[in-house]
Amino acid sequence: MGKMTECGFDKLHDQLRMKLLTAGLETSSNFVLIVDEDRLVWWVNQSFESLTGLSRQDVIGREITSFFSERNDPAVMIEAQNCLAQKREWRGEIIARRSDGSERVDGVAVTPVLDEMSGATYFLVVGRDITDKVRAREAIAAAKAAQGKAEKFFALGTMAAGIAHEINQPLNAIRVLSGGMLYLLSQGEALQAEEFVESLQEIVGQTERIAGITRHLRSFVNKDELRQEPCDLSAAVEMALKLVGKRLADHGVSVQTELQAGLPLVLAVSTGLEEVVINLLVNAMQALDGVDRTDKKIVVRTYFAERVVLEVSDNGPGVDPKLGNTIFESFVSTKKGEDNMGLGLAIVSSIVAACRGTVEMKKNEMAGATFVVKLPGLAAGSEEERE
Ligand SMILES: Nc1ncnc2c1ncn2[C@@H]1O[C@H](COP(=O)(O)OP(=O)(O)OP(=O)(O)O)[C@@H](O)[C@H]1O
Ligand SMILES: [Mg+2]
């Protein structure tokens, strides 16, 4: 213990202490300047000389701000000035101009030191060139902004394609219905009022469907992004089955469900999740349309295995091996139907990607296709996983 006090730095005589401290500052890899209250430079170390290429003689007596670039943020300059006027420490980034006119960014810490004898304050400025770090930071920010933009454009493009796809069907229905009525009238057929009403009601229903779609589009444009919220995947499956269940039954397809209750919620737009399920169900149904068997079956499962999983399996012919993963691209379709644009799975993948999930296709033990969607689950009772 006694040795400790004997060894104290403050036991050394002033001159030696000065020498050691000066050597420390002199050989520091950080640059060091000492400036007075008028911002005039009194001293710089070797690092400052080698960084700037200026000799000590060139620098002493100059105003420190003469090394600064005009591009410094005025707000930062004022903040620094205020700090120093109040003799408080300041840390920040300064853009400095090199003698060749180029710029560098310095991270600096300015510490006021009071001379009790004269009452004057000097400032110790310690810093280092962080240009590379700042460039990297800016590059990352630019890349992130560009990625955000690209994603938005992608989402818009897919959305537009999806809208065209969705509108096509009711438009066709309207054309067929009104065309039929016109044809009958032109043939001089006497139409019953009820028949008229029925067809017109159907037409109104179809225009409402289109209006619903354009509303959807408008909400997309207004809010920039559809709002995602915590959703229950099993509930989305049930909703989707409500919407297309009858159609599946009409096609002679039986649906078997194994839906797990109380799954972790997933962050999604609920109608988007339903759209995913509907697209997969309709694809399975259409695949089964092409086979000659009496036990046409779709199995829908939801469960949790690290992620929240949806599986839609059918006992159809399976995906044509020639297509492979191209089925997830837009406009890839083997179907002859006018309504089939090859967009269903492209829409599925873009919705799933927006939920930070994955979708893949594999062959199943019934020799048909299974589509597996995996979505990140939210921790129970939290929405914090949102970014
Ligand atoms: N369950 C399935 N079984 C066999 N093939 C499938 C299945 N699902 C999709 N496919 C194949 O993938 C292709 C692309 O599917 P996708 O849903 O993207 O388009 P589509 O169904 O042809 O047209 P749209 O969805 O626009 O009506 C289909 O044309 C089909 O060849
Ligand atoms: Mg489809």
pLDDT, mean of residues 94-109: 91
Lowest mean pLDDT among 6-20, 24-38, 112-126, 221-235: 221-235
Closest protein CA for atom 31 of ligand 1: 334
How far away, in angstroms, is 96 Cα from ligand 1 center? 60
Residue 102 lies in a domain: yes
Long-range contacts of 247-252 (CB under 8 A, 24+ apart): 247/282, 247/285, 248/281, 248/285, 248/298, 251/285, 251/288, 251/289, 251/296, 252/288, 252/294, 252/296
273/220 same-domain check = no
Residues with C-beta less than 6 Å from any ligand 1 atom: 165, 279, 283-284, 287, 314, 316, 318-320, 323, 327, 332-335, 339-346, 369
Closest protein CA for atom 10 of ligand 1: 319
CA distance 115 to 94: 26
CA distance 22 to 17: 8
Q: In this structure, what CATH number is given to the domain that contains residue 182?
A: 1.10.287
162/81 same-domain check = no
| Token pair for 360 | 């893949």
Lowest mean pLDDT among 50-59, 165-174, 217-226: 217-226
Fill in the amino acid letter for 98: R
291/336 same-domain check = yes
196/59 same-domain check = no
pLDDT at 341: 73
How far away, in angstroms, is 279 Cα from ligand 2 center? 6
Lowest mean pLDDT among 122-136, 207-221, 259-273: 207-221
Residue 386 lies in a domain: no
143/268 same-domain check = no
Among residues 61, 94, 129, which one ends one of the domains? 129
278/368 same-domain check = yes
Residue 137 has pLDDT above 80, yes or no: yes
Residue 387 lies in a domain: no
136/46 same-domain check = no
Closest protein CA for atom 12 of ligand 1: 327
How far away, in angstroms, is 180 Cα from ligand 2 center? 28
- What's the pTM? 0.51
Among residues 204, 226, 248, which one ends one of the domains? 226
CA distance 148 to 153: 9
pLDDT at 220: 45
363/232 same-domain check = yes
Q: Which atom of ligand 1 is nearest to the CA of 340?
A: 27
Closest protein CA for atom 8 of ligand 1: 283
33/99 same-domain check = yes
Looking at every residue in the chain, the average pLDDT score rounds to 87
pLDDT digits (tens, 9 = 90+) for 28-45: 999 999 999 999 999 999
pLDDT digits (tens, 9 = 90+) for 8-25: 888 889 899 889 988 999
Residue 55 lies in a domain: yes
Could you say which ligand is closest to the alpha carbon of residue 166?
Answer: 1
pLDDT at 349: 87
| Banded model confidence at residue 150, pLDDT cuts 50, 70, 90 | low
| Banded model confidence at residue 384, pLDDT cuts 50, 70, 90 | very low
Could you say which ligand is closest to the alpha carbon of residue 322?
Answer: 1
Percent over 90 (pLDDT), the chain: 54
Residue 384 lies in a domain: no
Among residues 226, 257, 286, which one ends one of the domains? 226
Residue 360 lies in a domain: yes
Q: In this structure, what CATH number is given to the domain that contains residue 249?
A: 3.30.565.10
Closest protein CA for atom 1 of ligand 1: 284
- The number of residues making up the chain comes to 387
What domain range is 308 assigned to? 228-379
Q: Of the candidates 104, 22, 114, 111, which has an alpha carbon nearest to the alpha carbon of residue 67? A: 104
pLDDT, mean of residues 182-188: 86
pLDDT at 350: 84
- Is the separation of the CB atoms in 380 and 264 below 8 Å? yes
Closest protein CA for atom 28 of ligand 1: 333
Residue 336 has pLDDT above 50, yes or no: yes
145/38 same-domain check = no
254/373 same-domain check = yes
| Token pair for 298 | 């779709």
pLDDT, mean of residues 291-299: 96
Q: Which atom of ligand 1 is nearest to the CA of 314?
A: 1
Residue 198 has pLDDT above 80, yes or no: yes
Domain count, the chain: 3
Residue 263 has pLDDT above 80, yes or no: yes
213/247 same-domain check = no
pLDDT at 2: 47
For tokens 């840390």, what's the residue? 91
- The distance of Cα 94 from the centroid of its chain, to the nearest Å, equals 31
CA distance 149 to 145: 6
Residue 56 has pLDDT above 50, yes or no: yes
For tokens 């100059």, what's the residue? 62
Q: In this structure, what CATH number is given to the domain that contains residue 71?
A: 3.30.450.20
pLDDT at 157: 67
| Banded model confidence at residue 105, pLDDT cuts 50, 70, 90 | very high
How far away, in angstroms, is 249 Cα from ligand 2 center? 18
Give whichever of 160-169, 249-258, 327-336, 339-348 has the largest mean pLDDT: 249-258
Q: Which atom of ligand 1 is nearest to the CA of 332?
A: 14
pLDDT at 4: 52
Q: Tell me the CA distances in angstroms from 364 to 30, 60, 222, 254, 374, one per residue in order.
A: 64, 80, 42, 17, 17
pLDDT at 385: 43
- Is the separation of the CB atoms in 29 and 36 below 8 Å? no
CA distance 165 to 85: 66
